Amino acid sequence: MWNGKNKAFTFSFDDGVLQDIRAIEIMNKYGLKGTFNLNSALIGNVRQIVTRGHTVNHSKVAPKDVKEVYKNHEVAVHTKTHPLLPSLSDAEVINEVENDRQILSALCGYEVIGMAYPCGGENNDERVAKLIKENSGVKYSRTIKSTHNFDLQDDLYRFNPSVYFVQKEKMFELGKQFIELKTDEPKLFYVWGHTYELDMNDPQYLCWEEFEEFCKMMSGHDDIFYGTNKEILL
């Protein structure tokens, strides 16, 4: 299905933070590809946040650096300002998504057509998905609901990933299963997260060294296609 291969692997990272630069260096080292979902109204912001009790840098890649930082990967929509879309009016949803897409397309020099829903919890619904499908140039959108499997899905506008990478034991377990998997049907291993979470320095969660270990484990398999979300889903 993908260049004659029935298995595909991809990453998806949200928020466009500076830690993406280090993650991309590691991904490039091992020939892996991913999609990075950016908020155009927040690009270049400098700040810290507290996540799971840990204070981490949540500063964003500057507008002038977006094209260079994410080259050979994919930039996708994460809305302009990171709101909970189901709480917005129809017009507000369309503006948050389509305006973000247009701004990012101008920054990247190509048409941005992917997306990941912002916020946690129930961050999408049928109304929002329908609005995006019918009123924007977005062709797919990722949720945060992990399937813990490799099955393809019919609904590209509410596409569920395989695993959230802070669940490191599950991610490694699925990775080993995927590598060993023999299949005549198309199967996708789709990992998502935020690269700032790698800075938490908490043994309970994934750290940079473990991220590189995982990338090394997943790389170099002749029966796996390594691509961006767009390359794999579309």
pLDDT in tens, 141-200: 999 999 999 999 999 999 999 999 999 999 999 999 999 999 999 999 999 999 999 999
Give me the phi and psi of 57, to 5 degrees please: -70, 130
* Structural domain spans, the chain: 7-233
Task: Return mean pLDDT, the chain.
Answer: 98
CA distance 57 to 4: 41
Q: Does CATH place domain 7-233 in 3.20.20.370?
A: yes
pLDDT digits (tens, 9 = 90+) for 199-221: 999 999 999 999 999 999 999 99
- In this structure, are residues 10 and 191 in contact, taking their beta carbons and an 8 Å threshold? yes
pLDDT grade for 107, boundaries at 50, 70 and 90: very high
Strand partners, 159: 142
At 24, list the tokens.
């991309």
What pLDDT is recorded for position 43? 97
What pLDDT is recorded for position 152? 97
pLDDT digits (tens, 9 = 90+) for 126-142: 999 999 999 999 999 99
- Helix 208-218 vs helix 19-29: crossing angle, to nearest 10: 30
pLDDT digits (tens, 9 = 90+) for 108-124: 999 999 999 999 999 99
CA distance 164 to 20: 16
pLDDT digits (tens, 9 = 90+) for 53-102: 999 999 999 999 999 999 999 999 999 999 999 999 999 999 999 999 99
pLDDT grade for 103, boundaries at 50, 70 and 90: very high
